[in-house]
Chain A
Amino acid sequence: MNPQFKKGVLELIVLESVHQKDMYGYELVEEVSQVIDVNEGTIYPLLKRLTNERYFETYLRESSEGPPRKYYHLTAAGILYRDRLAAEWEEFQTRVNGFMKGRGGHE
């Protein structure tokens, strides 16, 4: 898959995943990896950036196995951002699909 495609969509997938339920880093990586094949290392910087931009909040929660885990939670700003991105993605997708189908129909 084109890495440029991945990069754009990765943010939306992460936002969407955390929107459904609070997640810790590794869990999120696994979740995202199910959808797109992405370098695991690149998700942490993304989480960091979204946290810095106040779309995520983090908190620690004890785990039965190993050290406490850092959970990511979507803030109100994060939800708005996620909605906007989802809408953009929807529009982008329908336009691209429509274009592709239209072309396919003509041929």
Chain B
Amino acid sequence: MNKDRFLTELREYLSILEKQEQDDILEEYAQHIDMKMQKGLSEEEAISDFGSIEQLAAEILEAYHVNPEFRRQGFSFKLPKLKTGTSRNPIQSQGNQGFGLSQSKDGNMQEEGTCFQRIGGRTKTVLTRAVCCVKEAFQWMGRKCRAFARWLMRPFKGRRVESGEEMQKREARTERTKEMGGYVGRGLRAIGQGIVALWRWFIELCSFCLKFIWNAAWLLFALICAGMAMITLVGVGAIPVFLVQGYPFIGFFMISLGGLLCLGALSYGAFGMLIRREKTGGDGSGKGEEAEEDVKSRKGEMAAECGKEAAYE
């Protein structure tokens, strides 16, 4: 082993110490080796006189009251400083160093333990909170989904209720006719009523299908419009950025703003076109008309605006 390698290895062992202290002690060893070599010893011999580097490093560290086991235990760098600090008090340095050291080490370990416990406790509470939040979010989503499904099924349910009422009425009627007619007439009537019931059922089914398709189509249209409105909203958001960078995008900005408002109004109108159970009779149709009018007026406004913009450009 040559001198440089010896010194670098020793420095590694002494990495706990401050740089200045390392330099200080290594300088002594370097000089010692140089002197030995001046006296005619080889580099190898001079270094082998020191014995094992690890043991030597342990002795040096002991001089600072640093636990030589430190490196193997892999403590953080805060602890050795703490130790050197405490070991400088004269009571410990008078003697019984080993005991003092082991005590301080245990103290540090206990501190670490409580620290870990604290961290553990904190993470636990945070985790439980997070789990609760996720659970609540899922519950909320479930509620919303159920509400949406119910809303979609409203016309369907409404039909059913009505048909139930009608059925009762019909039953009452048949009971009345039962009392009146003879056997043959009763049989014919039963067949006729059956046909009528079938026909009604068929009509109801058709109307339900029509309504369902109508609703689905409007919903789809509304969703598409809403999606496009969102895209134009992004455009509206992005264009000021271009504007700031000096692009003359004012026209584009107005167009996309107009598109956003137009599409938003369209989607709103489409939602309004959906047939719901609440809208019964004239009231419902009136609302629908209102919505349509609203949409029309808005469309007109938009068109006017677009025209203005075109003129602007």
A residues touching B (Cβ–Cβ < 8 Å)? 25-26, 29, 39-42, 44-49, 52-53, 65-67, 69-70
The answer to whether A25 and B60 touch across the interface, beta carbons within 8 angstroms, is no
Which one, B24-32, B102-110, B288-296, B302-310, is touching chain A?
B24-32
Given the known inter-chain contacts A26-B31, A39-B50, A39-B51, please indicate yes or no for A45 contacting B60, CB distance below 8 A.
Answer: yes
The range of chain B's interface size is 20 to 34
Closest 8 pairs (CB-CB, A-B): A49-B63, A41-B50, A45-B63, A45-B59, A48-B63, A45-B60, A41-B56, A26-B35
The answer to whether A48 and B51 touch across the interface, beta carbons within 8 angstroms, is no
Which residues from B are CB-within-8-Å of A67? 31
A66 and B25 alpha carbons, distance in the complex (Å): 18
Q: How far is the CB of B56 from chain A (nearest CB, A)?
A: 4
A66 and B34 alpha carbons, distance in the complex (Å): 9
Which residues from B are CB-within-8-Å of A53? 93
Given the known inter-chain contacts A48-B25, A70-B27, please indicate yes or no for A29 contacting B32, CB distance below 8 A.
Answer: yes
A47 and B49 alpha carbons, distance in the complex (Å): 18
A44 and B25 alpha carbons, distance in the complex (Å): 7
Task: Check B64 for interface membership: any CB of A closer than 8 A.
Answer: yes
Mind listing 7 A-B residue pairs with CB under 8 Å?
A: A26-B32, A49-B64, A52-B63, A53-B93, A66-B34, A69-B31, A70-B27
B residues touching A (Cβ–Cβ < 8 Å)? 24-25, 27-29, 31-32, 34-35, 38, 49-51, 56, 59-60, 62-64, 88, 93
A25 and B33 alpha carbons, distance in the complex (Å): 11
A55 and B283 alpha carbons, distance in the complex (Å): 105
Of the candidates A40, A46, A65, A69, the one whose C-beta lies within 8 Å of that of B49 is A40
The answer to whether A40 and B32 touch across the interface, beta carbons within 8 angstroms, is yes
A41 and B49 alpha carbons, distance in the complex (Å): 8
Say what secondary structure dominates the interface of chain A.
Answer: helix
Which residues from B are CB-within-8-Å of A48? 24-25, 60, 63-64
The answer to whether A44 and B31 touch across the interface, beta carbons within 8 angstroms, is no
Most chain A CB atoms below 10 A, which of B28, B32, B59, B60: B28
Q: How far is the CB of B116 from chain A (nearest CB, A)?
A: 33
Which residues from B are CB-within-8-Å of A70? 27-28
A46 and B63 alpha carbons, distance in the complex (Å): 6
Chain B: CB-nearest residue to A29:
B32
Q: How far is the CB of A43 from chain B (nearest CB, A)?
A: 9
Q: How far is the CB of B16 from chain A (nearest CB, A)?
A: 14
Which residues from B are CB-within-8-Å of A26? 31-32, 35
Q: How far is the CB of B253 from chain A (nearest CB, A)?
A: 74
Which residues from A are CB-within-8-Å of B63? 45-46, 48-49, 52
Q: A52-B64, A66-B35, A70-B28 are in contact. List 19 more A-B contacts (CB 8 A).
A: A25-B31, A29-B32, A39-B50, A40-B32, A40-B50, A42-B59, A44-B25, A44-B28, A44-B29, A45-B25, A46-B63, A47-B28, A48-B63, A49-B64, A52-B88, A53-B93, A66-B31, A67-B31, A69-B31
